[in-house]
Amino acid sequence: MSGVSAVVLAAGAGSRFGGGKLLARFGGRPLIEATLDGLRGAPVDETIVVVGTEGERLRNVSTAYGARVVENHDWARGMSTSVRAGLGACSPGARAAVVVLADQPLVGAGAVERLVEAFEGGARVAVATYDGEPRNPALVAREVWPLLEREMSGDRGARAVFARHPELVTEVPCDDVADPADVDTVEDLRRLEGELNALGRGGATRQRRNR
């Protein structure tokens, strides 16, 4: 038992995609399934999927991976509402939560494991970096949750809070174990799928980082 929960944010409308993004086919299966499958083996005690506009359609896919589904009825007010819903749904014994975006299918268990290791080493906020740039996922110790509750707003989630409190943040390089590529449009999805088909997951990851 790590005392860490995984919170997968899956409540957005995917308007740039044209709707239905997380159920679009990626590698022969729904995009969200690829993300959840990538988290298999991560050192977390539970996985919580926060859903919104596509809630019912995402539920069966999520529960098939042992995830617990939480509805965010305020999803239209921005990502911060989904982070709040996810943290609020974590088990009482959770010491920290790793926040993952559902449209980043190549993040995977390796990045989560690195963040948990940083937490065990004393980090209160551990943020994955790629080429030195902070991205996702991010781990937040329970002691920091009240700060997020007070200061998060709109669609920036916790990122703006971390920027205001850099003393809390430990950056964790994840270049060699994950790829933060996200899917915003149909073109993003097809391009990423094409890279994986041509090179395999590891090759695609290395190619994207070398650009």
CB 110 within 8 A of CB 188: no
In total, how many domains does the chain have? 1
Residue with the two structure tokens 């083996």: 41
CATH number of the domain encompassing residue 73? 3.90.550.10
What are the tokens at 68? Answer: 């617990």
Could you list the residue range(s) of the whole structural domain that residue 54 is in? 4-209
Lowest mean pLDDT among 27-36, 68-77, 127-136, 188-197: 188-197
> How far lies 74's CA from each of 88, 189, 200, in Å?
14, 27, 38
Taken in order 121, 140, 6, 193, is the CA torsion positive or negative?
negative
Question: Model confidence at 164, in pLDDT bands (50, 70, 90)?
Answer: very high
**Are residues 205 and 135 in contact, defined by beta-carbon separation less than 8 angstroms?**
no
Residue 25 has φ and ψ, to the nearest 5°, of -75, 130
- The β-bridge relationship of strands 133-141 and 125-130 is antiparallel
The dihedral through the CA atoms of 79, 121, 115, 46 has a sign that is negative
For the segment 85-117, what is each residue's pLDDT rounded down to a tens digit? 999 999 999 999 999 999 999 999 999 999 999
Q: Is the pLDDT of residue 80 over 90?
A: yes
pLDDT of residue 200: 61
